Structure 1
Amino acid sequence: MSLLNKKRIFIILLAFSIVLGGFALRLSWIQWSSAWLPVTAARKTMNEMAVRQREEGIELDSGRGGFTDRNGEALTGFTRWEPTLFPVSKLPDQAHLKKMAELLGTSTGKLSSTWSGLKQPYVWTNGAGAALLKQGAWPKVDGFEMLPVMKRYPGGMRGNQWLGYVAQRPDVVRKLKAGGTPYPLPLSLQIGASGLEKTLDRFLRGTGGTRVYYTVDGKKRPLTEIGTRVQGPANPYYPVQVVTTVDNGIQQKLERLVDRMQIKEGSVVVLDARQGDVIAMVSRPFYDPSRIDLDSGNWSNRAAKAAVPGSIFKIVIAAAALEEKVTRPGEVFHCSGHYGKYGLACWNKAGHGDITLEEGFAKSCNVVFATLGERLSPESIARTAAKLGLNRKIGWSESAFMGGEDLAQIDQEEKGGVFGPKTAIDGGVLAQTALGQRDVLITPLQAANLIVTLLHDGQVASPRLASSIRFKDGSEMAVFPAHTIHAPEGRISARTARLLLGWMREVVTRGTGRSLTAAAWPLAGKSGTAQTLVNGRERNNQWFIGYGPLGSPKYAVAVLVQNRPAGSEHQAIALFRKTMDMLAGQEAKS
């Protein structure tokens, strides 16, 4: 071999050694750095990335924060063991397929066609998981696993629309990304779409989900020596838990009660009489948070929606008349059954005859209150309504909460109203307004809170649905302190508040609520019936609001039954009694 050829061979070997050494050095650097640097999408070892390309994954838990009731009972996050099929290149033999089909409650053909066409893991959700788990045995074949899948909601129809639901909202995710976020947010991320899920969404998003991976080769053949592996965020603080003020036991009993009474439309609100916290809030029709039909509107919370109140608004008129001194306790009116103008009449066609102010309240005499309405100015009525927490949103809220955005807990809350913005107010309008008709609108939440306000000598509370947020380790992330509302208009006097509470007892003992005398607790309240038009037909909103027990009030309750046929049984009074009896039973047990 010539000297020239020897030099050429030497140069080629040297170049090859340099390239090979560089590759080895690069590989060493990747392996060393991956051991020290945080694991992110940009810092994966070549080996790990290669394995990832051969994995079929399924989400076990989204990592979203959850909710509990006031006693720690879970309202979201329910683990179910589910049969799961992973894509494989070859299905089990016919004997195994037949046995699996029997266990999964399906045919061999359907199982085979479903499995063979998979591009990604498939959860078999026909209820077979519970049976397989109960018998403690399931097929041990490649591509099949029993996995603990976290379900957000327990399933079925509920009346807790205040909790809300989640949905994929790519438009919202894009805005969040544009605003900057420390955690990756996939476009498929579940975002709060209504209720507490929506109002507290910024705290609930978490830091990522937990997934299980089933390892296959490039031809989707399972690598049984590797099997499945679980990957999730190792964060001691997330996901968080929101502690609500709701008692889920009472909430569920109230939902069953509404169902048994065949209430078709309406709501029931139960507030803690001590500080106005929401104990239960039922909206009818019910909804399934796992299967939302936006067009039906069932997901909407009727307890926060304003409706015509009818005679429960007479509480406001009585308060205004007493505060403005246009009447006094003991004043005598005369009811002939007709008001004599504006086409108004009393519900008692025969009339009440001579009747005192207190009796007029107890028997809900329209003539008495139409008279008071005409004595009052529009300003005095609106001012008293504001003092009592009406014509405004009263749910718990706080500006720049924790240094961030404004926060209002109760989603969809409407403020209601007293007079229409373009209404030309005359004597007829004042008389109709005094009967809770015309432009008057009140939410069931406001109506229940009105009772709490009177129980607190005129101080308006701001109802909470959530009391705190806790980190995963149990420490507190945020506290929602009880709030009261200080209206610019001031508050009614304690004397007026106590007079009205006493008159509400008269409603039960000798007025429109006499059927409540047989209740488990001594009760007090005010009934109401409002005329409305629905699709051209005359319908009624039936109300009853009140408190109990009489000597030591624990609960304030508002019941609204909507769109009842004119002249039909007053379901609101019956539902109020059954609600209070249920609460009395709960107190006796505790």
Structure 2
Amino acid sequence: MRRKRMIVWISICIAGIGLLLFRLAELQLLDTESFSKHEINLIEASVKQRSQEMVVDNGRGNFLDRSGNPLSYETSSVLVLFPFLKKMDWQVHQVAKTIGVSEYALKNAVEKSKEPFAYGDPDPVILTRSQMDAINEMKIPGVFAVERKYPLDKIPAAQLLGIIGENESLLKSRYGEKDFLPRTLIGLSGLEKSFDEFLVAEGKSKLVYHVDGEGAPLFGINVKYIEPANPFYPINVQTSIDKDLQMIVEEAVDKYDIKKGGVVLLDIKTNSVLSMVSRPEINKKAPFSDEGIENMMVKQHIPGSVFKTVVAAAAIDSGLDDPNRKFDCSKKLNGEPDLKYDHGMLNFTESFARSCNRTFGDIARELQEKDPTILERYAEMLSVKGGVGWKGDIFHLENFQQMQDEEEGRIFVSEDARKDRNFSALSGIGQHEVRVSPLAVANMMATIARGGEKDMVRSVLSIQYQNGAEMTEFPKEKLKGDRISPYTVMKLQKLLREVVVNEHGTGRWFKDLPYAVAGKSGTAETGIYDGKKQLHNKWFAGYFPYQNPKYALVAVNLGVPDDEGGVNPLFADIVKAVYDYNQE
């Protein structure tokens, strides 16, 4: 009996020891990087227990504006202090005097610290170069003056640039088994996502020291500076954004309380984005919880009468712009009296200037009878159908897209709609199934201003190594497909100018601006009601100066009542601001 008990106890002990050994192997060998259902990285946790660190640069690449100014971060010269100073007698008086703070404040900050910190965080005390040199010359262990990278509180063109975050599964799906540091940040939207392969961190720059269980130095008080071995990284992505103009335009958009919508400003000569503003703003606490994460300037929206520019081009080439022909602009598309817009009898040019729906509905029907695909063909020729963002081959990446979030425009969804007379009329005034992005509309205006030359829109000019050398550039590229004739372009230019100079034109508000403007308005019914009111998308798209075009501009306010949210004042203010900016 006693023998059996001993065997049982020995078996239990062996089993227990076996379980302990298995658990130890699991912890030390098998699941070191993904322990338990919580996917805990034991190696990272172990390192954290044995060391304290101050990250100076997270290692991810950066965005610059066209002049080289940082868009997503700023570099500040700060004083970094380590917690072990509280157990030392150090020259606190000398350091405090150098940076101009009280000795008590400096010592008290160290006493409260549990990990390395920049003095004054979250609003650190900024040091001058002479202060940095003086502090580092003291060679006090645990006291360093360093350049540290901070994210900007307000990032310009936030939706265009996009956001970053931690996502282990997405990291693995993008890069397979490639070895990355724990908690590597990746791009989740915008240019951060498009250029993630170039931006993803190869390593962090940080100050590190090893500690024992009580936080005291384990191997003396030597602090190590660790940085990635490759001196060319992290890289910089030079965008086409003009940071100063971007901030001016953002202020204008917020001045007019645009809840949903925004602005696109293009440089016509280089066909690149100078400014792009999207509202609502990104919700920093929960970016994917609402529409703030979406870049409204590259999404499809109902354009309304802005689309009449496309219909006008097709009409000119089809001989439907006879100046002697009159259209009854006192009636709606269905022939009923139009009590709101009773314009009387107007010819083609006057109809465009005053945005007569009846004229362009009738013309669209006539065009459809000749060729059911004609509106789509002219939409392609004017670059509002299909994507317009830069696309091409770079390095090992084929068909690389700068703006991966861009949605392509469309005119019809079904063959039945394409052949239906009523649907054609509605499409002719930019309603029904017509959807275009503000970016594409801006590019249409730039195309007309350039004489019909269709180019891809660039938001990034080049990728640069850390030392400023160019890794690759994104040259100006043509959009494929047919283009409108010089004669048609000339007539479109005159029509767009007539919108402004005509005493009854929908753009007459811009007649006295410092730059001569040409453009087209649009008010589209969305089919959505806020209580009893029909909501509208309100647009103005144009270019300036008229005689020597430099800028294409689109302003849009989405989902607002008919009697609210007009964009004419916003458009006008931006034209004035661009003029003042150039004078300065």
TM over 0.5: yes
- Counterpart check, 1:76 vs 2:68: no
Pair 1:497-2:492 in alignment = no
Change (3 A) 1:218 1:582: same
Is the Cα–Cα contact under 8 Å of residues 86 and 122 in structure 1 kept in the other structure? yes
The equivalent position to 2:288 in structure 1, one of 287, 294, 301, is: 294
Deviations 1:320-339 (A, max 9, x none): 112233x1341422325213
Q: In structure 2, how many angstroms separate the alpha carbons of the residues matched to 1:347 and 1:435? A: 18
**CA deviation after TM superposition for structure 1 residue 134, in Å:** 12
Change (3 A) 1:268 1:90: closer
Pair 1:60 & 2:56 matched: yes
Specify every segment of 5 or more residues in structure 1 that has no aligned partner in the other structure, as ranges. Answer: 1-49
Q: Which letter maps to 2:477?
A: H
Deviation at 1:403, TM superposition (A): 2.5
Q: Is the 8 A contact 1:159 1:287 kept in 2?
A: no
Match of 1:212 in 2: 207
Aligned equivalent of 1:467: 461
- 3-state SS in 2 of match to 1:543: strand
**Deviation per CA, 1:483-510, whole angstroms, max 9, x where unpaired?**
11122xx222111111011111110011
Match of 1:380 in 2: 374
Number of the residue aligned with 2:405: 412
1:297 Cα deviation after fit = 2.4
Distance 1:206 1:142 in 2: 29
Corresponding position: 1:439 with 2:433: yes
Do structure 1's residue 551 and structure 2's residue 550 form an aligned pair?
A: no
Question: Is the partner of 1:530 in helix, strand or coil?
Answer: strand
**Shift of the alpha carbon at 1:440?**
0.8
* Equivalent residue in structure 2 for 1:581, among 566, 576, 582: 576
Q: Which has the larger radius of gyration?
A: 1
User: 1:346/1:415 Cα in 2 relative to 1: closer, same or farther (>3 Å)?
Assistant: farther
Comparing 439-448 with 378-387, which one deviates more in the overlay?
378-387
Q: Note closer, same or farther for the CA distance 1:573–1:405 as it changes in structure 2 (3 Å cut).
A: same
Residues 1:516 and 2:510 aligned together: yes
Deviations 1:160-189 (A, max 9, x none): 311112111211322355354xxx412300
CA shift in 2, pair 1:579/1:218, >3 Å: same
Following superposition of structure 1 onto structure 2, how do residues 183-202 of structure 1 map, counting pairs within 5 Å? 184-202=179-197
1-structure distance, mates of 2:520, 2:340: 17
- Alpha carbons of 1:89 and 1:500: their partners in 2 closer, same or farther (altered >3 Å)? closer
Matched AA of 1:386: E
AA of the residue aligned to 2:388: I
Task: Report how far residue 207 of structure 1 moved.
Answer: 2.6
The residue number in structure 2 matching 1:22 is none
Contact 1:530 1:542 (8 Å CA) reproduced: yes
State how 1:130-209 maps to structure 2 within 5 Å: 130=125, 148-151=147-150, 153-156=151-154, 158-176=156-174, 178-180=176-178, 184-209=179-204
Shift of 1:575: 1.2
**Structure 1 residue 470 displacement after superposition:** 1.4
CA contact (8 A) 1:83 1:145 kept: yes
| One-letter amino acid matched to 1:201 | D
More off after superposition, 505-514 vs 293-302: 293-302
What amino acid does structure 1 have at the position aligned with 2:190?
Answer: G
CA contact (8 A) 2:402 2:459 kept: yes
Gaps of 5+ in 2: 1-45
C-alpha displacement at 1:559, in angstroms? 0.9
Displacement of 1:124 in angstroms is 7.3
One-letter code aligned to 1:192: G
**8 Å Cα contact 1:332-1:356 kept in structure 2:** yes
Contact preservation (8 Å) 1:69, 1:245: yes
Q: Is the 8 A contact 1:92 1:141 kept in 2?
A: no
Aligned in 2, Cα 1:166/1:103: closer, same or farther, shift over 3 Å?
farther
**Aligned AA (1:167):** G
Contact 1:57–1:212, Cα closer than 8 Å, also in 2: yes
CA contact (8 A) 1:460 1:484 kept: yes
> Counterpart of 2:154 in structure 1: which amino acid?
G
Q: Map 1:32-111; keep pairs closer than 5 Å.
A: 55-80=51-76, 86=82
Residues 1:177 and 1:587: Cα distance change in structure 2 (over 3 Å): closer
1:303 to 284, 297, 310: 297
Aligned with 1:413: secondary structure? coil
Aligned equivalents of 1:157, 1:104: Cα separation in 2: 36
CA distance in 2, matches of 1:157, 1:390: 29
Answer yes or no: is the 8 Å Cα contact 2:166–2:185 preserved in 1. yes
For 1:582 and 1:246, how far apart are their aligned partners in 2? Answer: 16
Aligned to 2:346: 355
Residue 257 of structure 1 aligns with an amino acid whose one-letter code is A
Any conservation in 2 of the 1:238–1:471 contact (CA below 8 Å)? yes
1:276 equivalent to 2:271? Answer yes
Q: What is the CA-CA distance between 1:135 and the residue it aligns to? A: 13
Paired letter, 2:556: L
Identical amino acids, percent of aligned pairs: 31
Determine the structure 1 residue equivalent to 2:41: none
| Distance in 1 separating the partners of 2:160 and 2:211 | 44
How far apart are 1:216 and its partner, in Å? Answer: 3.4
Is 1:402 matched with 2:395?
Answer: yes
Q: Distance in 2 between matches of 1:81 and 1:447?
A: 44
SS of the residue aligned with 1:507? helix
Q: Does 1:421 pair with 2:414?
A: yes
Structure 1 residues 67 and 362, CA, compared in 2 at 3 Å: closer, same or farther?
same
1:205, distance to aligned residue in structure 2 (A): 2.0
Query: Which AA in structure 2 matches 1:58?
Result: M
- The Cα of 1:58 is off from its aligned counterpart by 2.8
The equivalent of 2:472 in structure 1 is: 478
The C-alpha deviation readout for 1:413-451, integer Å capped at 9, x for no partner, is 011211123654422111111111111111100010001
Say if 1:157 and 1:292 are closer, same or farther in 2 by CA, change over 3 A: farther
- Cα deviation code 1:441-490 (max 9, x no counterpart): 11100010001111233222110011111112322211111111122xx2
Return the offset for 1:246.
Answer: 1.2
Q: TM-score, normalised by structure 2?
A: 0.80
- The answer to whether structure 1 residue 265 and structure 2 residue 246 are counterparts is no
CA contact (8 A) 1:292 1:299 kept: no
- CA distance 1:347–1:417, shift in 2 (3 Å): farther
SS at match of 1:161: helix
- Contact 1:162–1:195 (8 Å) recurs in 2: yes
Q: How does 1:220-239 map to 2 (within 5 A)?
A: 220-222=215-217, 226-239=221-234
